[in-house]
Structure 1
Amino acid sequence: MNSLSTKIVGTAPLAIIGQNGSGKTTLVKLLNGLLRPNQGKVLIEGVDVASQTVAEWSKKVGYVFQHPEDQLFLETVEKEIRFGPEKIGMAPKAIDLAVEKSLALTGLSQERQTHPFELSPTAKKFCGIAAVLAMDPAIYIFDEPTMGQDARGKDRLAQLIATLHEQGKLVIMISHDIPFVIQTVKRVMVLVKGRLLLEGGVAYVFSKEGLLEQAQIRLPEVSLMGKKAGLTKTYLRVGDLLAQIELAQASRDDARKGW
């Protein structure tokens, strides 16, 4: 990965986007020590990530793998969720509470005795999320969380991200799902070949059409519809676009009437 210098401040949900090979997964694996930088430093709250083990950082930074099969390995959903809290030394009563809370948040309460590999793709993904939720880290990294998710799963995931934000947790998401990114996060980073091309609020980033083209990122359909309608502003939500079109039509009607 090329030299990348940036600072993540606050807990507003963040998405990292870019084409395959842009360095997204490499970047987030540096945040919990799964990878080590060849040069420079990665600091979390002033602490060099390289100064602690991956196991130590797992208490602070929870990583949900892109493919659940790379993460899940025990016989039941409940055992998967208990494993992390037990390894980091949580008290038994705290573990029981964490398990129940994680099952409820991920909609898996009825699947606690199911083998994870017998779950649907959506539920399997949430099992991996629940296993990290139970450890209650301050930072959550979701690698392509909408992959394999149906509409209901995406809605649950969006609500979960909002809940974690309300709890003061930082969610960092890698995603190619641009509509979901727009729906759920406040900030976006765009990577190209290991370098930071663009970062900022959602509206700002998606207004930079030329830079996004460099990253081979296509604007969402609602934005393209607005451009075809002759609107200069980039609209990211259908409701906002329709309201602007109706306003423009009303103005034209008034002009024809001579008002």
Structure 2
Amino acid sequence: MSSAAVDAAVLYAHVLTSTGHPEAGLAWAMWARPRHGRGPDDPVAVRTLGVLAASLHATGRLRAAAAHYRELAVVLAGLDGPDAPRTLAARADLAVMLHASGDCDTAHAELAAIVQAQQAGMGHVTDFAMVKLLTRQARMYRDCADARAAECFLEAVALARAVGLAEQVRAVAARAPCDRHRRICTHRRPRPAGRPPAPSQHPTSTDEAGSGWQVNAHIAADGCPLRHRPDSGGRVASRTTPPADHCGGR
């Protein structure tokens, strides 16, 4: 298999995923992954891993996406350093996947560590990227009914004024929490001393949240899973289908 064909497949997977055809994009990314024939730190291999993780994310395969974002973060840490922008970005995407899968406290801790690293200047982040990161953190806290959401939104708005994004951040802050996340949320919020814990309302591993209900869902801009909606024709056109031998990975 020529490297040009693999490179083209990765690019095509990226385009398909970013233009609303994530299932087709995932098929091409899975076809390309075992065929690049290069080491894990090769630029094409890194790009393939990133596109595959994004395609899994877009099709709602959250745990698989988290595994690939974790692998990507490890690879990028070796290439760029643990606090480099690309590494921190992969870790932030991993945190989003963990949160959407219901592993809330791990996601909170991961994203808080990234914010701390960025604020310390380790990632050389721009104000625009920092606003995006703080807003993402605030949304996580809000969906988990954590009071820290307000502080994060205020911090994001204050920084957003410098880059002309204050209104956009306020609009995000005004949205209601994601109702679907409440069904899988595992965040343990502090409770007043002396008050007994309330009965758990979270689903167990035998509920639909623990048995793969996220599969074939899209993730909206606010991280809330949405059921997969097919194209108007009910399928992706045949020209988006990779060679038949990709099916072993599906």
TM-score, L = length of structure 2: 0.30
Structure number, greater radius of gyration: 1
> Higher strand share goes to which structure?
1
TM-score, L = length of structure 1: 0.29
> Higher helix share goes to which structure?
2
